[in-house]
Amino acid sequence: MALEVLEGSVRNIMEQETLKWVFVGGKGGVGKTTSSSILSILLAQVRQSVLIISTDPAHNLSDAFQQRFTKVPTLVNGFSNLYAMEVDPKVEDDDLSDDGLEGFLSELTNAIPGVDEAMSFAEMLKLVQTMDYSVIVFDTAPTGHTLRLLQFPSTLEKGLEKVMSLKNKFGGMFSQATRLFGLGDEFSEDALLGRLEGMKDVIEQVNNQFKDPDLTTFVCVCIPEFLSLYETERLVQELAKFEIDTHNIIINQVLFDEEAVESKLLKARMKMQQKYIDQFYMLYDDFNITKLPLLPEEVCGIQALRKMSQHYVVPYKPSLARGTIKEVQERISTLRLQLQETELELERLQGK
């Protein structure tokens, strides 16, 4: 009996009304920002309010929507319920403006790689939790960076242990130092521990939500090439390790076999792509796999994003199927045009 292939669309995400967090991730340059932007547009059609957050240091949300975004949620032009913000996943300098605390925190940061990202991510989640959005879409950084953010509960746990060990090791020295440098109570050992403990509570709460498939899902974006397949497999394995639900894969830049293509180069590329697409279907037979076409232009601006969004809901079908009368007629007119251009070029060369 043939296995039933799940529908190749993101409709399942739109229909899952309980979803609170949607992560979109994958290798660099595979179209994560376009996919997350389109997902947020589709969700805005069915949910009360949507926030899309870019955690990639190389922010592209502003380019995708052709509108400037900052670390403050901004209403996307043309929408009444879609907001966007861009945050840098690192502790900002203003947070560490005092030398005493800066020295202590840099000691902490050096001791546990990634704790600065974890702390700023925790601060951001704290902020996001106070906002009343029905669903939040994360346009994440390339894979390695994303996985570090997903590890932040354990990273912060290590951070707290380090603070406790420093506290035990130096006893009252830290509080004496803060008094000596004339620092206020906000830089005291207890205040710092309180801040970290507060973050830990937020993190534990969020971590429980991330592990709940009713509340969180991760969408893997890729292209039909070996490195992207490898990276997607690594991502899926890591997500399983963190107990984070994932059941959607978006394959971008697909050359469809039915398209009337005469180029030998494109035909060879199609053959290569098909090999990897077959592997995706074999490896992820219980996933919703959405295949999207390679386009001659970039998808930028609300109009282009809306137009492209239809292929996320209804599987893409090329407008001209190979072997039909219409396709053959189209091919003849293309060849005639090419012949005319070649003849003109020949005349030009002969006239020189």
Q: What is the phi/psi pair of residue 118, to 5°? A: -60, -45
Greatest Cα pair distance, the chain, in angstroms, is 92
Q: Which two tokens stand for residue 138?
A: 């994360």
Rg, the chain, Cα only: 25
> Does the annotation flag 28 for ligand binding?
yes
**34 appears as a binding residue in the annotation:** yes
State the Cα–Cα distance between residues 272 and 257, nearest whole angstrom: 11
**Is position 32 annotated in a ligand binding site?**
yes
Known binding residue 162? Answer is no
257: amino acid identity, one letter: D
Closest of 345, 337, 317 to residue 254, by C-alpha: 317
Neighbours of 160 (CB within 10 A): 17
User: Which residue has 């796999």 as its token pair?
Assistant: 289
| Intra-chain end-to-end CA distance of the chain, in Å | 68
Q: Which helix (H) or strand (E) holds 252?
A: strand 248-254
C-alpha span between 109 and 83 (Å, rounded):
32
d(CA 26, CA 141): 8
143 a known binding residue?
no
Q: Label residues 79-102 b or e (16+ Cβ within 10 Å = b).
A: bebbbbbbbebebeeeebebebbe
Q: List the structure tokens of 216.
A: 């969180």
Is 257 labeled as catalytic in the residue annotation?
no
Out of 56, 116, 139, 245, the active site residue is 56
- Answer whether 247's CB lies under 8 Å from 287's CB: yes
The rounded distance, in Å, linking the Cα atoms of 272 and 288 is 22
Q: Is 72 annotated as a binding residue?
A: no
**Structure-token pair, residue 154:** 């354990």
Q: Is 8 annotated as a binding residue?
A: no
301 annotated as belonging to a binding site for a ligand: no
- Taking the C-alpha atoms of residue 296 and residue 117, their distance in angstroms, rounded to an integer, is 37
Contact, 330 vs 320, CB < 8 A? yes
Residue stretches of the annotated binding site: 27-34, 225, 252
Residue stretches of the annotated binding site for ATP: 27-34, 225, 252
Catalytic positions are: 56
